[in-house]
Each structure stands twice: as C-alpha cells, then as structure tokens.
Amino acid sequence: MSVVLAVDDTRALRAMLADCLKKGGHDVILAVDGVEALDQLRKHKPDIVITDLNMPRMNGLDFIEAARREPEGKSLPMLLLTTETAQSLKDRARAVRATGWLTKPFDPKQILSLVDQLA
Amino acid sequence: MDDDEDFEALFFSETRELLDALQEHLNLLADDEGDSETVHAAFRAVHSVKGGAAAFGFDRLIAFAHIFETVMDRIRSDTLMLDPHVAQILLRSGDMLQVLAENAEAGTEDKPVDGLQRLQQELEVLAGEREDGDIVEEGAPEPAPAEAAAPAEPEPSEEEDDTPALKEIVCRITPEEPFFESGHDILRLIRAAREHGLTTIHSEGDVPNIAEFDPRICTLTWELTFQTDQTLSDVEEFFGIYAHTAQLDFFQPGAEDDIDQDAEAQEESPAVQETPPAKSAQTAPSQQEKPPVGPAAAGAGGTNKPKAPAAPPNAARGADPNKSLRVEIARIDRLVNLVGEMLITQAALAQQITYGDEHQVSDMAHSVDAMSRQLRELQESVMAIRAQPVKSVFRRMPRVVRDLAEKLGKEAKLELEGENTEVDATVIEELSEPLTHMIRNSMDHGLEGNDDREAAGKPRVGRIKLAAEHKGERVIITIEDDGRGVNRERVLAKAIERGLVSPEDQLSPEEVDMLIFHPGFSTAEEVSAVSGRGVGMDVVKKKIMALGGRCSVVSTPGKGAVFTITLPLTLAVMDGMTIAVGDQKYILPLSQVVEALRITGESGKRLPDGSSLLERRGEYLRLLSLRSALDLPPRDSTDQMAIVVDTETSGHVALTVDELIGQRQIVLKSLEANFHKVDGISGATILGDGQVALILDVQALVRMQGASAPIEETFH
C-alpha cells in the first residue's frame, strides 16, 4: 500500500480523492497548492503524487517542475489531474516531467489501478 | 451514496465561498481596481466551480462555467479587453453562476432560468465563438445543456469483442527521453503488466558502452506479449499513462484488421492519449483531438450519478440544515482546553463534597468560583465559534451601490471599513436585508444627482461609507453619506399628512429625523424602482429591533446623514432584567430598559379614557400596568416599581411591576419551538432555581394594550 500525496485547491475534490484512495487502502496526504505540496513532499516522502493543475500560489506544473529538483521527487510518479485539455499545457507537462495527464472528473477505479501500477 | 451527498454538501458550501470571492473580484474588476492577480483569482474561482460541478454532473452549471471560464481565460491572456461592457457581462455572469448553483443545490437544476440563454450567447460572443449579430432573442428554444457541454458527449463504444477466450495482444514500447525523468520505471511497468496477463518479454536494441551511456536515454524497445481475456482497449488503457512519454504500438496477431476497429473503442480510456492505429511511428500530440472528458464521466459510475434530487430541495438558504461554518482551529482548541479544565474542577468539587467537612467549605467555594469563571470563558469561546466577520454581508454592498448608481443615474462610491468585525453568524444572515435597504435609502434619498452636487460645491461623485466596529458587548454599524441629509420639511409634512404627529407639536430637529423610522412612513413620493416599494426605514428598524438592536440617524442638512445600527454580538444570550408580577418572574430585555422608578401615590395620573400617565422629571409617560396586561387582578399596594422602557415605535413607556429582582445574563429559549407562539411573549429562559421565566415582548404588549402610539412621549 502506498503513500499518496493528493493536491487540489478544491476542498470537495480533495475529500473525494482522499476517500477514494483510502478505500483502496492507501495512506493519503493532502495539500491545497503547490507550495504546501512541496512541503508535504519533503516531510512525508510519498510514493506517488496526484495534483491539480490550476491552483493559487503555485500551480501543478510549477510544483512538478520544482519537485523534480528535490531528492524526494526525482523519480517520483506525479500525475496531473485537471479539467484542462489544451495541448500547450500537455506539452508543458511533458517538459516539466509530469508522469501522466488525467482528466477530471476522475474515475476512482482508474485512479486506484494507476496508483498500483505506478507506485 | 451517502458519501456522495456529503461531498455534494461540501461542494456547495465551497461553491458559495468561491462565488462570494468571485463576486468580490468581479466588483474590483468592474471598478477598474483589479490587477492581473484579480483576473487570475476570478478565473480560478470559476474554474474550481466548474471542476466541482463536473464531478457531480451538473450539466448546466458546467456548460455555463465553461463558457464563462473561456471568457475569463481570454481576459487573462490579454486576448480580450476588459471594458465596462465586458465587466457588466461578467458581473451578470457571476450572478447567473450563483443562480445555477443554487438551482443545482435545490435539486431543480433543470428549472428554466431567465436570461440564461442570452447571457450564455453574450459570453460566446466574448469568447469569439459566436458572431455579435448572432444572438438569438429570449424565447427561442434554449439549446440543450448537454450541447453546450459538448466535450462531455461520450463516444459510442464498440465493445463487442468481449469474448472470454484468451487472446494474444502485443505491445511494443519504446521509452522516449522524458520517460525515466517523469517518474516511470520499466520494471514497475512489467510487474504491473503481469496482472493483465503478460506472458513474454523481448527486448530489442543495444545498450551503448559505458562511455556513451546517458541514463536518461533508453535505447531499448520492449515487446510485451499478453495472453488475456481483456480487450485491446483494456490493454491500451493500461498503457495509456505511458503514452505521454513513450512510443507505443499495439498488435493483435490472431485477428485481422481488428486494430482499426478497436481504435474507436480505446477512446473509452480517459488516460489514454489517442494511440495511432497499427504501427504508426509516434503518438503525435496533434492527434489528440477529442478531449477525453466525457468517457471518463461515463466510466466514473458513482460520481456521475444522474442529477436526481440528491440533496433535498432547500429553497431557503437560511433553513439549510447542512450549512457549515468555517472555524479557526485555535478557537476549537480553546474550547477543548476549557472543557478539560472544567472536568478537573468538577472532579475536585465531587471529591470535596464526598469527603467534605467544615474545613473544606472554603475549598469548595474556591472550586465553585473557578467553575463559574471557566463557564463564563466557555460561554465566550462557544460564542466565538459562531462569530463571523461582517465581510460576507459588506461585500455584497458594492454591488448594490453599483446597480443603483446605474438605475438612478447617480455616480457614487462605497467605502467599507471594519469588514473584519465579528458578529454572531445568525445576526449576520439577518443583516443583509436591512443594510441593503439602508444603502438604497442613502442612494435614493440621501445623495443628490451629480449635477446638483457640483452646484452645491461638493465632489461630483457621491460617497457612502459603511463601517462596523465593536463597542463593549455590541457592534456598531454606521452608514454615512455626504448627501443632502434628511429633508426635515418634507418629513414633517408627510408625518402630519399621515397623522403621525399633529401640526401643533413642537418637534426638535432630531425628533423629526427619527420620524423616518416610524411605521408606515416613507418619503418616496412616487413609487420608484429603488426604494419606494412600500417599505421604508420602519421595516429596517423592525428588523434591527428583532435582532435586539437599535437604530438612529444623525442628519446635518446639506452635509449628509449618518445612520447608526447597534446590535448585540449574539442572539443566543442577552442581558435581561428580572422582575416579578404576581407570583411569576419575567424578563425584560435590558437593551430596552431605560430606567427604573419608584412610584409614589402622587406621581401617577389617571386620564378620562382610563389610561394612566406617570410624571417623570416634569414629563409625562404613558403608564402601563403589567398586571392588567397579563390579566392579573390589580395589586392593593400603591407602592410599586415602574420600569421605563424604550419601545421605539411608541416612545418611552413606563411599566408597573410588583418587584424588581435584578439583572442577569439569560440564555434565550424559543417558545415557538417548544410550545407555540404567544402574543406579548418573545421567548423563555430558565432561571437559576430551575424555574421558567417568560421574556416579555414589550413592543407587542404596548400595542396590545391599545396604545395609539404617540410619537412624542412628552407632554409639555
């Protein structure tokens, strides 16, 4: 079972993600934006990260870019989960070394199988 | 499903906060006071609402938020100029979003909404998705919400080849440069693939010698062969997450021509980037055409339930039992600590009582002291939990001013002060209406037209200031304008015409000003769209009084007027004066008590019509016997106490009581909730000895005693 860091500025989505992941038997750490997520990453060394894209203070892409420079984040699977679909953003995601791109709304089954697959 | 409803409640409560914030940002933008961060914040708010709505399948909300978001995005990227016209549309869109969210919450998502279609089209014009002249007038059939939410249309799936027999499926995967740096691991991939029926692995390519080795670059291609009962699209879904950073090719050796067919079905996978059929070389980004939102929604099962009335329809927001409050953790911590301390005190007390002897009486007294101190603190802490800044009400007001300014053709500027002043949440909810009304009043009657202002040597733009501050146990809210002040001549003329005062009465200027609070008084000569809706300041006063507050006005002709509202910090606890009439104790709200007097035989005077007057320092007050009001026989003794109360509508009135017991804080209990409404009684409380005492509704009692409400309490 893995430690999952879930990052989203929307409380309801955080709650839903946490619920889904906990039901899958994972430990969940939450963060409301990239700044908090970086902090949690250093503190808890999660096995996988699922992050929103649009967030205040530090968005998901900037967070992943910053996290890749941290020892804890170097080879960490970090998935973006967003309603955005723009190709330019997906290109950017690849450039900052995001592990994958998922679209909201999320499918709990898919999230769980991805966590098993990647973490 | 229960969980879903919890999440829905959470979503709606968060949406309310988001929309409030959005309103604030849009106001700033409309005032041209926003910067790029304001635009970002507004965009994020709309985006978050959309994201949440998508999770619960509120199609209309999604569709509207989507186009709204697109427009905000264009402003964000400077593709669209934010001019006043656009700002107006944004403001209306903020309102619309609120309406749609409320409908969704009430379970009436499909209810037709006035102006939705038009506004949506206006947004589409701004978004560049529609020609300006192409706005269909209201009344034309509204496009189905699903159509606007087009990306949510799921591709019909063609999943027929679901035979249980094992098939052979081959996937060739060549990691591209970002693969390893993106947190992928080929070993983990292979382990996970076993679950999907992976049987054999071949690797192709050469590993370069160590001098040329670059750990980021993978020179190998793996060919993974599956023996599986899963469909090709299932396997593709498994690999979908790698499509981003690796070349993927799929084969199905046993089948002919089947890959093209399956290429359609693989759209089902939300994570899969569109994989080119057969052995095309690369997952080119440009081939990602269909945003995979829809299929995911379809696959999400539980989260995308039909919008059956999941949340019970709660038309009135105030009555929402699911309403939640955000409270700082520190406040809760304080409570927990206090309760802990009290438990210790209680244990000490119990011990002292059990083993108590004479010597321990002082210890016990000490413990009781400690307990009452702790209780007081506990009470304050509990109140603090419900305390919320008035900001939530105040920030709706700029909007009111702007809308009115437009309607009245007056320019005005609203200043806010003390928005962080905290008041009990129940009070805050009730404040919105009176405040809106008072702002309206200031806009309509207070401020002059811009030209008149210039002629009077004032700044062209009118100024209204809304401020809040704490003063002792009360909150003071002031609404100050720099307009013409109360028009005393007109007020007086109107009051005389209405028979509220007689022409002979000599009223001081202040008394004339206060007339505007009198029931049935409204200076609006014709019914204007703004304040002449048959409600005047008396309604404001009634509302404020119901909250245990007072209001007053200080006006300086030509310079402006200051309206002041004072409110108790909470509605749950109030200061009361305990009195006795007959063998019962009653409570008078202390906020209404002016003074207590002892009545001697000579100070009361009986009028021919049976009513009595009490002389107080040369003035006469109406004297009302609580005994007769409560249907008790008159008392023999002439030695009575009189409590002078301020009834606001009937001025000062003296009430005779048998005995004055004292002041105390009382906890209000609703009589309506526990029994039924009784005229003249506003509630009940429980006294220290366990007795129930009724709280008198002075206003109603005076009215019931047939007071014809003389405005002026003084007879000279």
| Chain segment B485-506, per-residue pLDDT in tens | 888 888 888 888 877 788 887 7
pLDDT value for B11 = 82
- What residues in A contact B11, CB-CB < 8 Å? 12
CB contact (8 A) between residue B55 and residue A104: yes
Pick the residue from chain A with its C-alpha nearest to B43: A54
Predicted TM-score (pTM) of this structure: 0.44
Sheet with B474-481, strands from edge to edge, namely: B412-417, B462-471, B474-481, B560-568, B550-556
Pair B49, B110 in one domain: yes
- What residues in A contact B271, CB-CB < 8 Å? 100-102, 110, 114
Tell me: cis bond preceding B151? Omega within 30 of 0 counts: no
CA distance B521 to B509: 17
Residue for token digits 């955000």? B326
- What residues in B contact A85, CB-CB < 8 Å? 151, 291, 293
CA distance B219 to B214: 10
Please identify, among B529, B547, B568, the residue that sits at the C-terminal boundary of a domain: B568
When pLDDT is cut at 50, 70 and 90, the band that residue B211 belongs to is: confident
Task: Count the domains in chain B.
Answer: 5
Cβ distance B611 to B622 under 8 Å? yes
Give me the numbers of helices (H) and strands (E) for chain B, helices first please.
23, 22
User: With an 8 Å Cβ cutoff, is A57 touching chain B?
Assistant: no
CATH of the domain at A20: 3.40.50.2300
Q: What is the pLDDT of residues B359-370, one digit of tens each?
A: 667 777 788 888
**Residue from the list A68, A97, A107 with its beta carbon closest to the beta carbon of B270:** A107
Determine how β-strand B560-568 pairs with β-strand B550-556. antiparallel
Is residue B307 included in any domain, yes or no?
Answer: no
Backbone angles phi, psi at B206, to 5 degrees: -115, 145
Q: Cβ–Cβ contacts within 10 Å for residue B648, how many?
A: 21
Residue B187 or B309, more confident: B187
Backbone angles phi, psi at B283, to 5 degrees: -80, 85
CB contact (8 A) between residue A85 and residue B293: yes
- Specify which of B136-145, B203-212, B309-318 reaches the highest per-range mean pLDDT: B203-212
Query: Min CA distance, A116 vs chain B (Å)?
Result: 7
pLDDT value for B258 = 43
Q: What is the pLDDT of residues A12-69, one digit of tens each?
A: 889 989 999 998 889 999 999 999 999 999 999 999 999 999 998 899 999 999 999 9
Range of the domain at A9: 3-118
Average pLDDT in chain B: 75
When pLDDT is cut at 50, 70 and 90, the band that residue B302 belongs to is: very low
Is residue B305 included in any domain, yes or no?
Answer: no
CB contact (8 A) between residue A85 and residue B304: no
Q: What is the pLDDT of residues B85-121, one digit of tens each?
A: 888 888 889 988 988 888 888 888 788 888 888 888 8
Structure tokens belonging to residue B364: 């016990």
Backbone angles phi, psi at B628, to 5 degrees: -70, -35
Is residue B446 included in any domain, yes or no?
Answer: yes
CB contact (8 A) between residue B241 and residue A79: yes
Instruction: Of A84, A94, A93, A99, give the one whose Cα is nearest residue A4.
Output: A99
Backbone angles phi, psi at A78, to 5 degrees: -130, 110
CB contact (8 A) between residue A100 and residue B271: yes
Q: Where do the H-state alpha helices sit in B31-83?
A: 36-56, 59-76
CA distance B54 to B304: 8
Residue B372 or A9, more confident: A9
Q: Per-residue DSSP letters for B662-701?
A: EEEEEE-B-HHHHS---TTEEEEEE-TTS-EEEEE-HHHH
Average pLDDT over residues B448-462: 87
**Residue from the list A12, A85, A106 with its beta carbon closest to the beta carbon of B11:** A12
Residues, chain A? 119
Please identify, among B269, B284, B299, the residue that sits at the C-terminal boundary of a domain: B284
CB contact (8 A) between residue B183 and residue A10: no
Cross-strand bridge partners of residue A80: A51, A101
Q: How many CA atoms lie within 13 A of A21 on its CB side?
A: 28
CA distance B187 to B173: 13
Task: Count the domains in chain A.
Answer: 1
Residues, chain B? 716
For B620-639, what is the HEC assignment? EEEEEEHHHHCCCCCCCCCC
Sheet with B221-228, strands from edge to edge, namely: B198-204, B221-228, B167-175, B246-251
Average pLDDT over residues B22-45: 85
- What residues in B contact A23, CB-CB < 8 Å? none
Range of the domain at B455: 390-568
When pLDDT is cut at 50, 70 and 90, the band that residue B527 belongs to is: very low
When pLDDT is cut at 50, 70 and 90, the band that residue B535 belongs to is: low
Average pLDDT over residues B651-659: 86
Pair B118, B40 in one domain: yes
**Residue from the list A10, A108, A110 with its beta carbon closest to the beta carbon of B271:** A110
Q: Which of B76-90, B131-145, B169-183, B421-435 has the lowest mean pLDDT?
A: B131-145
Determine how β-strand B221-228 pairs with β-strand B604-606. unpaired
CA distance A111 to A31: 18
Pick the residue from chain B with its C-alpha nearest to A115: B192
CB contact (8 A) between residue B300 and residue A106: yes
Instruction: Of B3, B71, B16, give the one whose Cα is nearest residue B39.
Output: B71
Average pLDDT over residues B199-222: 79
Determine how β-strand B246-251 pairs with β-strand B387-389. unpaired
pLDDT surpassing 70 at residue B271: no
Pair B624, B486 in one domain: no
CA distance B341 to B348: 11
Query: Min CA distance, B242 vs chain A (Å)?
Result: 7
When pLDDT is cut at 50, 70 and 90, the band that residue B134 belongs to is: low
CA distance B443 to B524: 12
Query: Min CA distance, B446 vs chain A (Å)?
Result: 41
Q: Cβ–Cβ contacts within 10 Å for residue B40, how many?
A: 17
CB contact (8 A) between residue A19 and residue B185: no
CB contact (8 A) between residue B188 and residue A118: yes
Residue for token digits 């909404």? B113
Query: Min CA distance, A15 vs chain B (Å)?
Result: 7
Pair B115, B17 in one domain: yes
Average pLDDT over residues B288-296: 39
Cβ distance B280 to B32 under 8 Å? no
Q: Which of A30-39, B258-267, B501-510, B515-524 has the lowest mean pLDDT?
A: B258-267
Pick the residue from chain B with its C-alpha nearest to A118: B188
Q: Cβ–Cβ contacts within 10 Å for residue B114, how many?
A: 10
When pLDDT is cut at 50, 70 and 90, the band that residue B706 belongs to is: low
pLDDT value for B529 = 45
Determine how β-strand B692-696 pairs with β-strand B584-589. parallel
When pLDDT is cut at 50, 70 and 90, the band that residue A5 belongs to is: very high
pLDDT value for B287 = 40
CB contact (8 A) between residue A102 and residue B301: no
Sheet with A78-82, strands from edge to edge, namely: A27-31, A3-7, A48-51, A78-82, A100-103
When pLDDT is cut at 50, 70 and 90, the band that residue B464 belongs to is: very high
Pick the residue from chain B with its C-alpha nearest to A88: B285
Q: Which of B17, B105, B244, B305 is most worth mutating to test chain A (most A CB atoms within 10 A of its CB)? A: B244
CA distance B80 to B123: 12
Query: Min CA distance, B554 vs chain A (Å)?
Result: 45
pLDDT surpassing 90 at residue B333: no
Query: Min CA distance, B646 vs chain A (Å)?
Result: 48
- What residues in A contact B14, CB-CB < 8 Å? 10-12
Average pLDDT over residues B200-226: 80
Pair B437, B556 in one domain: yes
Pair B693, B602 in one domain: yes
pLDDT value for B586 = 92
pLDDT surpassing 70 at residue B50: yes
Average pLDDT in chain A: 90
Structure tokens belonging to residue A20: 């889904």
Radius of gyration (C-alpha) of chain B in whole angstroms: 36
Residues sharing a CB contact under 8 Å with residue B400, sequence separation 6 or more, in sequence order: B436, B439, B440
Is residue B427 included in any domain, yes or no?
Answer: yes
Pair B41, B109 in one domain: yes
CA distance B669 to B662: 20
Please identify, among B534, B568, B602, the residue that sits at the C-terminal boundary of a domain: B568
CB contact (8 A) between residue B300 and residue A108: yes
Is residue B322 included in any domain, yes or no?
Answer: no
Is residue B319 included in any domain, yes or no?
Answer: no
Is residue B621 included in any domain, yes or no?
Answer: yes
CB contact (8 A) between residue A15 and residue B10: yes
Q: Which of A107, A111, A114, A118 is most worth mutating to test chain B (most B CB atoms within 10 A of its CB)? A: A107
Instruction: Of B322, B303, B14, give the one whose Cα is nearest residue A17.
Output: B303
Cβ distance B12 to B56 under 8 Å? no
Collapsed DSSP state (helix, strand, coil) of residue B579: strand
Collapsed DSSP state (helix, strand, coil) of residue B593: strand
Pair B344, B469 in one domain: no
Residue B131 or B464, more confident: B464
pLDDT value for B602 = 62
Residue B711 or B391, more confident: B391
Angle at B578 between CA B576 and CA B582, to 5 degrees: 145
CA distance B688 to B673: 22
Is residue B238 included in any domain, yes or no?
Answer: yes
Query: Min CA distance, B306 vs chain A (Å)?
Result: 14
Pair B587, B648 in one domain: yes
pLDDT value for B4 = 60
Cβ distance B128 to B53 under 8 Å? no
CA distance B104 to B306: 12
When pLDDT is cut at 50, 70 and 90, the band that residue B629 belongs to is: confident
ipTM: 0.82
CA distance B294 to B157: 12
CATH of the domain at B395: 3.30.565.10
- The share of chain A scoring above pLDDT 90, in percent, equals 51
Structure tokens belonging to residue B1: 């499903």
pLDDT value for B622 = 85
Residues sharing a CB contact under 8 Å with residue B607, sequence separation 6 or more, in sequence order: B613
CA distance B150 to B158: 20
Average pLDDT over residues B241-257: 76
Determine how β-strand B692-696 pairs with β-strand B681-686. antiparallel
pLDDT value for B135 = 63
Q: Which of A100-114, B491-505, B599-613 has the lowest mean pLDDT?
A: B599-613
Backbone angles phi, psi at A2, to 5 degrees: -110, 165
